[in-house]
Amino acid sequence: MIVYEFKVKGKNQQYRAIDEAILTSQFIQNKCLRYWMDNKDSKVDKYALNKYCAVLAAEFPFADELNSMARQSAAERCWSAIARFYDNCKKKVKGKKGFPKFKKNCRSVEYKSTGWKLSETRKAITFSDKKGIGTLKLKGTYDLNYFCLKQIKRVRLVRRADGYYAQFAIDVDGRIETQPTNQVVGIDLGLKYFIADNKGNVEPSPQFYRKSQRQLNRANRQKSQKFSPEKHKAKLQQSNNYHKARIRYARKHLRVSRQRKEYCKRLAYSVIQSNDLVAYEDLNVKGLVHNRHLAKSISDAGWYTFRSWLEYFGHKYGKVTIAVPPHNTSQNCANCGEKVQKSLSTRTHVCPHCGFQEDRDINAAINILRRGLATVGHTGTYATGDLPSWAVGVTLLSNGKSVNVESPPL
Ligand SMILES: [Zn+2]
């Protein structure tokens, strides 16, 4: 499955219609969740939620206006959150089990195979349900003519800080055969670096991280200064200047998340191209990473994006990617295996047992690779739920969340 994204151009009133469709989709998701919560004893499943959509459509005219398969798609989003919760309970995941939440800031609505039609040139799309979205121009360099219509499984309309987008989820097997490189690599998310590998190569944190952090903080401060708590209390509208600052802030976020994406994509591509096997820490394992995780929070978002692209390219080019549990990878000696306690500020690993000396991140990378090689042959390298995280941008089952969506809600 690949996802092509186009910016869409329409009239203001069409954008309002998209907003309305997104809101309806959110309404259905929340109603489904409520229905499940109220009927826990009677075993509400995926099909029951699908049927419930028809009930909602009969009861609420605005729900009826949304295409029936788009309604179902909303119910499926809700179901995937419930299913993940069940799954976490069954697997006895430590800590919070992720009880499904009501949605407040949905930013997309998803159509399946009906309710839309591409123009002859495939440079425009018309939505035919009663939401009145009408015909939107598609702006972008991708060519949809290359695919047959049946391959387009979903069409999603997404709202971002700088406008509206259409995503097409296209069913193609994008695997590409490559020559083996006879190289394997272990990667540590460095404290000092963005990543460090077991061979001693380091990739410094990109400058835009720090720079953008400053800009974001500044924009955020300006936003807060223009926020009036009195108006908020009195449930009055905030000033125009506040809303301008808010949009400026949201756009900055969008820009940073795009920069991050480009950077991570390029880095992940080069790592995958030059190795047959890549091992890295599975930082999604809950309750294992307390302190370390906190210390890395600045580059966390980047690491998550990087990992997603790594797994995506790994899948595409037929390489092995392994997420290993991060227990003690930075503490243990990569040479003799003894545990050498060190605080976060200790940059160098010096082993009192065998005398081995190495940068702490590189030492960790060696441990990660070793652990990765020890688990090859096992299945279940995707540690994060039902969807492998290489499904970049594919929010089909992932509860409306997407790796691409990182700007704050409008
Ligand atoms: Zn040692």
Q: What is the pLDDT of residues 296-331, one digit of tens each?
A: 444 556 777 888 899 999 988 989 999 888 778 888
Beta strands in 112-227 (DSSP E): 116-118, 124-127, 134-139, 152-160, 163-170, 184-189, 193-197, 202-204
- pLDDT at residue 95 in the model: 79
CA of 357 to the centre of ligand 1 (A): 8
CA of 196 to the centre of ligand 1 (A): 20
CA of 140 to the centre of ligand 1 (A): 55
How far out from the chain centre does Cα 405 lie? Answer: 7
* 289 pLDDT more than 70: no
**In one letter, which amino acid is 27?**
F
Average pLDDT, the chain: 84
Task: Tell me what the mean pLDDT of segment 216-228 comes to.
Answer: 92
For residue 218, CA distances in Å to 53, 73, 212, 226, 342 come to 44, 39, 10, 13, 35
240: its two tokens: 């125009």
CA of 349 to the centre of ligand 1 (A): 9
* 407 pLDDT more than 80: no
CA of 363 to the centre of ligand 1 (A): 10
CA 267-305-377 angle, to 5 degrees, is: 80
CA of 352 to the centre of ligand 1 (A): 7
CA of 361 to the centre of ligand 1 (A): 15
CA of 295 to the centre of ligand 1 (A): 25
CA of 282 to the centre of ligand 1 (A): 24
CA of 373 to the centre of ligand 1 (A): 20
CA of 32 to the centre of ligand 1 (A): 56
- pLDDT at residue 383 in the model: 39
CA of 280 to the centre of ligand 1 (A): 21
- pLDDT at residue 343 in the model: 81
351: its two tokens: 């082993």
φ/ψ (deg, to 5) at 124: -150, 155
pLDDT band at 190 (very low <50, low <70, confident <90, very high): low
CA of 296 to the centre of ligand 1 (A): 26
Check if the beta carbon of residue 144 is closer than 8 Å to that of residue 135: no
CA of 393 to the centre of ligand 1 (A): 42
CA of 368 to the centre of ligand 1 (A): 16
